[in-house]
Amino acid sequence: MGRACNVTVTLVPARHASGRGLFDADRTLWTGYVAESGGRAVYYSGDTSWGDHLEGIAKKFSAVKFDAAFIENGQYDESWPDYHMFPEETAKAASFFAPARFIPIHWGAYPLAVHTWNDSVKRSVSAAEKIGVKPLVPKIGEIFDSSAGLDRWYE
């Protein structure tokens, strides 16, 4: 029998326009998550655009150490400010959490914007390194921990 693990999961704000039809605009909410246990945490941004909510979440959880921050880094365009962040915003958002590792997510799946499949991850990793945030870009299905090296396989 395993030992008990006390984990608290808190839903946190995400900012993303929503709607699939003509009359359902912004009728659904988007969310991210913070999972905490023993003074440590993991942040998952969910599908979000840039906003004050990011720094607010980091401040609310400033007493915990973030082992990882999984932050949206998907398709972006100047015409879609309410959907996804620009890569440099993704890196800046990661810096708010001061994670042991920043993992860009929600990129490379299918094209929605007019940029290459790997543009957002290359730009966010570069921006993160410039501001002192340690990125990690695992391959799909790869098992990793905070000591894993940065493999630039996407280049």
Instruction: Answer whether 0.85 is exceeded by the pTM.
Output: yes
Residue 14 lies in a domain: yes
Residue 121 lies in a domain: yes
Mean of pLDDT over the chain: 90
pLDDT digits (tens, 9 = 90+) for 63-79: 999 999 999 998 888 88
Residue 41 lies in a domain: yes
pLDDT digits (tens, 9 = 90+) for 40-56: 999 999 999 999 999 99
Domain count, the chain: 1
Which CATH number is 45's domain given?
A: 3.60.15.10
Residue 56 lies in a domain: yes
Sequence-separated (6 or more) residues with CB below 8 Å from residue 52: none
Q: Provide the token pair at 13.
A: 């704000």
pLDDT digits (tens, 9 = 90+) for 113-126: 888 889 999 999 99
What is the span of the domain harbouring residue 90? 8-18+26-130
Tell me the DSSP string of 34-98.
Answer: EEEETTEEEEE--S----HHHHHHHHHTTTSEEEEEEEE-----TT-TTT---HHHHHHHHHHH-
